[in-house]
Amino acid sequence: MTRRWRAVVAVAAVALLVSGSACRTSGLAWREDRRLRIDTPKQNAVVTLPLEVRWHVRDLPKSLQGRAYSYVLFLDRFPQAPGQTLQHFDAGSKNLTQSRVGIIEAREERHVFTTIPPHDARQRDKHELTVILLDDQGRRVGETAGFLTFRIAQGGTP
């Protein structure tokens, strides 16, 4: 086999592998959606309790204009995929209270945490918060989300 023929075979094999792979590209946003922003506290802030988190949405998605919507905060866990409801977390769970730990629903663009449980023995004071939009049917709207990483000050309260 000539060098050129080997190159053609290699390129064809790679193309076949890529086209037949399990990677799904439909329905993905190819740019970051920054319409929802967390205003306070600032990214990587060291905070005390009670902790007030404030956010805002600019350029509300067209699917929500003129309709009711709400927010969901996810503390130290990942949100559901776009189009899914919060019932996604209940699937297979016998304890609905446990399946919703770290999930807070909000109607306003603010929430006050009075307690935040430690979640990781190695980094127990470091937390991640994600805020998403829900439509009037309780489904996640697109990939719009605000993200925040923060630490609880040693002692946790002022």
Domain coordinates in residue numbering, the chain = 27-152
CA dihedral sign, ordered 158, 119, 69, 35: positive
Cβ contacts of 65 within 8 Å, gap of 6 or more: none
User: What per-residue confidence (pLDDT) applies to 131?
Assistant: 97
User: What per-residue confidence (pLDDT) applies to 10?
Assistant: 58
Q: What is the pTM of this model?
A: 0.74
User: What per-residue confidence (pLDDT) applies to 5?
Assistant: 60
Distance separating alpha carbons of residues 80 and 146, to the nearest angstrom: 14
Angle at 144 between CA 140 and CA 145, to 5 degrees: 95
Per-residue model confidence as pLDDT tens for the chain (158 residues): 566 666 555 555 555 544 444 444 444 444 567 899 999 999 999 999 999 999 999 988 888 888 999 999 999 999 999 999 998 887 766 665 566 788 999 999 999 999 987 777 777 789 999 999 999 999 999 999 999 999 999 775 54
User: What per-residue confidence (pLDDT) applies to 31?
Assistant: 53
Q: Kindly report the CATH class assigned to 27-152.
A: mainly beta
First to last CA, the chain: 75
Distance separating alpha carbons of residues 134 and 73, to the nearest angstrom: 11
Q: Which residues pair with 70 in a beta bridge?
A: 134
Distance separating alpha carbons of residues 90 and 107, to the nearest angstrom: 22
